[in-house]
A and B are shown apart, each in its own frame.
Chain A
Amino acid sequence: MNPEFAQIIVAAAVAAIMVLADAVPGLAAQTPLRLGYLDHPGSALCIVAAAHGHFGEEGLRVKLVRFTDSASGLAALETGAIDAGAFSVGTALTEIAHGKQLRIIAGGGTPTASDPLADLDETAQQKLDRAGIVVLVPANRPAAEKGVIIGLTAALIRAHRTLRQQPAPARRATLRKLSHGEAIPDLSFDPNPDYWRMLRIWQGLGLQYAAMPRDFLANHVYEEIYCDALDRQLLGPMDTVLHDLFSKAVCTPNCCPANSGRLFTLQGGSTQ
């Protein structure tokens, strides 16, 4: 996309900013992180994180920027008009394969089939997977900003927990806001960027070209950020939602005498 055109789209989108910042003392002076999101129920983790103060809990001031299609959102991400964005995984992976310098740091909502036999239809399943949401940042962000990206991911993990723990009517109300009156699709939320799921979609789209290095996709899925963000949750109370996330995450185990984490237990609380 023409960068100028992308900027015009972003300017229009900025006008539609929904939620500005978390009301946390000390964050007012901070330059807000501009988080784009696709106007789709699959982006709910971003909305929930803002509405429930999870960005502030991670020390971030975040400005949400709405986009009506993923392509323009990804273009805005590339030009630096936004700092991070939650967009369709199929579009994002295609853009990455075409050379866009982006890294996936978290997952979001993925449509699921209401028909229990639908997952036998591989083509239909792949279509649903591609419509899921992932959160991305530019690949060239300075290392100094790693803490901010971890904080952003940690806030999305908190949002996932909030969404999962909401009573069904409240959850439906959250998703309805992003459905614009249309029927709320069945969605499965998971903040894990999950390299192996990305690989399935990547292979399904035929994006691994012969000349690409074997680790091309792995270099664009920043699982280390997710693992660090998940580790942060060890500092708080444990519950079944976090337990599920820990059980599914494939993170490099830590090893060393200096390493000391908090007790991870369903009974809750740390003893250190």
Chain B
Amino acid sequence: MRRIIAALLLSTVMASAAVAADLPKLRVGYVPEPAHGLYFVAKEKGYFKEEGVDVELFQFASVSEGMAALKAEKLDVGTFGTTAPLLFISKGSDFTFFGGMMIGGQAIVARPDRLAELAGKDLKVFKGKKIGLVKLSTGDVIFKGALKKAGIDWKKDITFTEFGSAAAVSEAVKKGAVDAGLLWPPHFSLAEKNSGLKVAHYLEEFYPKYTCCRIVAPTARLNADREPYRRFLTALIRAYRFYKTNPEETVQIYTKSLKIDEDIVRNETYVNKVAESNPDPLRKGILDFWQHIRDAGYIPQDYPIDKYINTDIYKQALDAVIKKNPKDKVYQDMLAFYKKHN
């Protein structure tokens, strides 16, 4: 009897392995930021396999290394911010935005003794100030976009000082070399924890639902076979639902996978809700982001970026999930969000 059970178990294991081996594979690159955790939820909860796609995750230490791997087609999917893919596309690389990973997430930090003068909901408080940032970071692009929307001529009224890293921005704020600094997760939390700085504002206060990290793929691969990409997004949509409905387990998965302090993950994700892990492609946000880069003078020529955004695959994935779960509120909210932002 034991032999029969063992044989059955063995055949089951072999059958599972065979199924996994037959699944279409996607090699997915990412950088370790808290809001990139949906990949790990989907992996840990088995959504990728259930949806029929074998996803292998590759962590990169830098965006430029990740983009190089994507360009060399060593990856099928990349999650390397918004700026980097836009720069590559504007120089002729054929990548397509087809999903998202993070919305929001940028903060303005200051020394505690400077908080009062930066308080309030009016961006005019930054006139005459010196702001530290990492050039072309999401905070740089979005803050300048917010200032422009508020009618502030930042080229005239604000001094921006560029630094080589988020850590250097924190240090400059701490030393008083700049009045405030723009940082992203988890750096502003680290700045609060390690350097005694305080978050003066989240950029969401001035610029709701702006794009941060987008999901891109080499266009030729995406168009050659969209089905694995649709399955991939379906799994992420289900992971998003899990993230919205199971906070504590999500915190544990994010913490374990990204090796970032648990309190930081919890605070940024669920307490302060600084950034949202959201797979929506956010087409309008990408186009706005591109325009802000152009307005800032970083890129001298325009480019038809809209041709490099595909929202259909996400919509198909979302529609299929809703068809199976027509009354699910999270999925209905995702649909409403999609309609508004794409």
Cα–Cα distance between A224 and B68 once the two chains are bound (Å): 10
Chain B interfacial residues counted at CB < 8 A: 45
B298: chain A residues within 8 A (beta carbon)? 250
The residues of A that contact B186 with a CB separation of less than 8 Å are 257
Per the 8 Å Cβ criterion, residues 38-89 of B in contact with A are 61-64, 67-68, 80-81, 83-84, 87-88
A164 to B93, CA, bound (A): 35
A247 at the interface (CB under 8 A from B): yes
Min CB gap B225→A, angstroms: 21
**Contact A257–B68 (Cβ < 8 Å):** no
A271 within 8 A of B: yes
Pick the contact of A196 from B92, B175, B299 — CB < 8 Å? B299
Residues of A within 8 A of B301 (CB): 196, 199
Given known A-B contacts A246-B135, A250-B136, A259 and B167 have beta carbons under 8 A apart: yes
Contact B83 A271 (CB under 8 A): no
B161 near A251: Cβ-Cβ < 8 Å: no
- Residues in B neighbouring A227, C-beta threshold 8 A: 64
**Main secondary structure on chain A at its contact with chain B?**
loop
Contacts of B288 in A (CB 8 A): none
B94 contacts chain A at the CB level, 8 A cutoff: yes
Bound Cα distance A272, B170 (Å): 11
> Does B91 count as interface, using CB distance less than 8 angstroms?
yes
Question: With contacts A253-B83, A253-B135, A254-B165 known, is A259 near B62, CB below 8 A?
Answer: yes
Question: For the complex, is A175 an interface residue (Cβ under 8 Å from B)?
Answer: no
Contact assessment for A263 and B168 in the assembled complex, using a CB-CB cutoff below 8 Å: yes
Verify B91–A215 contact, CB threshold 8 A: yes
Q: Closest CB-CB distance, A201 to chain B, in whole Å?
A: 13
Contact with A along B22-51 (1 / 0, CB 8 A): 000000000111000000000000000000
**Residue of chain A at shortest CB distance from B168:** A263
Distance from A219 Cβ to chain B, minimum over Cβ atoms (Å): 8
User: B105 → chain A, closest Cβ, in Å?
Assistant: 11
User: Which B residues lie within 8 Å of A272 (CB)?
Assistant: 167-168, 171
A219 CA to B123 CA, complexed, in Å: 41
Of A216, A217, A263, the contact of B163 (CB 8 Å cutoff): A263
**Could you tell me the distance between the alpha carbons of A206 and B36 in the complex, rounded to whole angstroms?**
43
Residues of B within 8 A of A247 (CB): 135, 162
Report the minimal beta-carbon distance from A15 to chain B, rounded to whole angstroms: 40
Interface size on A, residues (CB 8 A): 36
Instruction: Collect the chain B residues with CB atoms within 8 Å of residue A199's CB.
Output: 301
Residues of A near B260 (CB, < 8 A) are 257
- The interface residues of chain A lying within 8 Å CB-to-CB of B162 are 246-247, 264
Q: B151 at interface (Cβ–Cβ under 8 A)?
A: no
B300 touches A254 (CB 8 A): no
Judging by beta carbons under 8 Å apart, are B83 and A261 in contact?
no
Q: Is B269 an interface position by the 8 A CB rule?
A: no
Contact A256 B94 (CB under 8 A): no
Residue B137 is within 8 A (CB to CB) of chain A in the complex: yes
The reply to whether the CB of B147 lies closer than 8 angstroms to some CB of chain A is: no
Contact check, A255 vs B63: say whether CB atoms are below 8 A apart. Answer: yes
CB-CB < 8 A to B165: which residues of A? 254, 259-262
Which of A218, A250, A271 is the one whose CB lies under 8 Å from B299? A250
Chain B residue numbers with a CB within 8 Å of A215 are: 91-94
A214 near B: Cβ within 8 Å?
yes
A213 adjacent to chain B (CB < 8 Å)? yes
* Bound CA span A251–B80, Å: 14
Question: Which residues in A have some Cβ–Cβ distance to B below 8 Å?
Answer: 195-196, 199, 213-218, 224, 227, 231, 234, 246-247, 249-267, 271-272
Where the two chains meet, the residues of B that have a C-beta atom closer than 8 Å to any C-beta of A are: 31-33, 61-64, 67-68, 80-81, 83-84, 87-88, 91-94, 134-137, 140, 161-168, 171-172, 175, 177, 184, 186-187, 190, 260, 298-301
Q: Which 3 A-B pairs have the closest CB atoms?
A: A261-B165, A215-B92, A214-B92
7 A-B residue pairings within 8 Å (CB atoms)? A199-B301, A218-B92, A253-B136, A261-B163, A261-B165, A263-B177, A271-B175
